Amino acid sequence: MQESMEVVGNTPIETPKFIKTLGKYLVAIAMGIWAFGESAGRARAAEALWREGYHEEAKRLMLENK
């Protein structure tokens, strides 16, 4: 049986192509939103550190890659 087949009862039903494509786009959009939120959170944290005088820590927070 193929990966794209779903079995309902004894009848295999193929998942429509547009559903697969839509799923991929939704995942990509969700990942983009997540990355933006993480970046904004890092920027806010770095700004708070900078205000408190922790300049090196703020710089390191913004420059490190995870």
Residue 2 sits at φ, ψ, to 5 deg, of -75, 160
Distance CA 56, CA 22 (A): 43
Give the start-to-end residue ranges of the domains of the chain: 35-66
How many angstroms separate the CA atoms of 6 and 19, rounded?
13
Rounded to two decimals, the pTM is 0.65
Q: What is the pLDDT along the chain (66 residues), one digit of tens a residue?
A: 445 666 667 777 787 888 889 999 999 999 999 999 999 999 999 999 999 999 999 999 999 876
> How many degrees, rounded to 5, is the angle at CA 6 between CA 12 and CA 14?
70
Residue 14: the pLDDT is 81
- Confidence (pLDDT) at 1: 44
Specify whether the CB–CB gap between 15 and 6 falls below 8 A.
Answer: yes
Q: What is the pLDDT of residue 18?
A: 87
